Amino acid sequence: MIDFVAPRDGEIIGKATSREDAWWLCSRYGLKPHPLTDASEVRLEDTESGAKVWTVPCEHTKYPYDRIAFENRRRDGLASLENGLPAWPIAEENGIAFQTFKQRLNRGWSGQRAATEGVREMVPNPDDEWEAIALENGVSVRAYRSRVQAGCPEAIAATMGLSWRKW
């Protein structure tokens, strides 16, 4: 079951499914939960409106200015999974770059799909001799193809390193 999370005597900051997740969310947002080693002090309490809220004892009840915590809060608000939790932490765990995640959302992908679907791998063309040479020289298939598409001759695209634009 998903319930709201709030630092003790503070406002709701997000949602979590367990006391560990609630503690982790406060830690991720820079609120410095106590104790810093475990989540045993986190309590599930009823509010006046009847909703349940994980209350976490924290050093701060509002967000302190911390660049990383600010980015985490902003990114967590972009999309959510089907169960209502933020999608960005899952995408981060799956090794999906933030720009890729954001572009997927802009294309209309669901938060669940954007966070969990793997990155497409480009398969080399066995009939393209310059592509094989590019792979031998440590140039990826994606880099080789984008160089050729940008107008670089195949021989240069396959053999030059990062300075290929100076040809």
* 103-114 confidence digits (pLDDT tens): 999 999 999 999
pLDDT at 114: 92
Average pLDDT of the chain, as a whole number: 83
DSSP state of 87: S
| Section 137-157 average pLDDT | 88
Would 66 be classed as within a structural domain?
Answer: no
Residue 167 pLDDT grade (very low, low, confident, very high; cuts 50, 70, 90): low
Would 140 be classed as within a structural domain?
Answer: yes
Same domain, 109 and 142: no
Distance CA 131, CA 157 (A): 9
Give one DSSP letter per residue of 6-56, joined into a string. Answer: EETTS---EEESSHHHHHHHHHHTT--BSSSS--TT-EEEE-TTS-EEEEE
Quick one: tokens of 140? 């990826």
Would 25 be classed as within a structural domain?
Answer: yes
Distance CA 93, CA 90 (A): 5
* Beta-carbon contacts of residue 20 (< 8 Å; ≥ 6 apart): 39, 42
Would 121 be classed as within a structural domain?
Answer: no
Would 62 be classed as within a structural domain?
Answer: no
Would 112 be classed as within a structural domain?
Answer: yes
Domain extent for 133: 129-166
Is residue 12 over pLDDT 90?
A: no
Quick one: tokens of 124? 């080399």
Residue 140 has a CB neighbour count (10 Å cut-off) of: 12
Same domain, 98 and 133: no
Distance CA 27, CA 68 (A): 11
Distance CA 134, CA 154 (A): 9
Residue 122 pLDDT grade (very low, low, confident, very high; cuts 50, 70, 90): confident
Is residue 13 over pLDDT 80?
A: yes
Same domain, 134 and 112: no
Percent of the chain with pLDDT over 70: 93
Angstrom distances, CA of residue 31 to CA of 40, 51, 69:
17, 22, 9
The answer to whether the beta carbons of residues 114 and 87 sit under 8 Å apart is yes
Is residue 129 over pLDDT 70?
A: yes
pLDDT at 113: 92
Residue 9 pLDDT grade (very low, low, confident, very high; cuts 50, 70, 90): confident
| Section 69-98 average pLDDT | 84
pLDDT at 30: 83
Q: How many domains does the chain have?
A: 3
User: Model's pTM, two decimal places?
Assistant: 0.55
Same domain, 97 and 133: no
Would 72 be classed as within a structural domain?
Answer: no
What are all long-range contacts of 142-147, with beta carbons under 8 Å and residues at least 24 apart?
A: none
The answer to whether the beta carbons of residues 32 and 10 sit under 8 Å apart is no
| Section 76-104 average pLDDT | 87
- pLDDT tens-place string over residues 28-53: 888 888 876 666 778 888 877 778 88
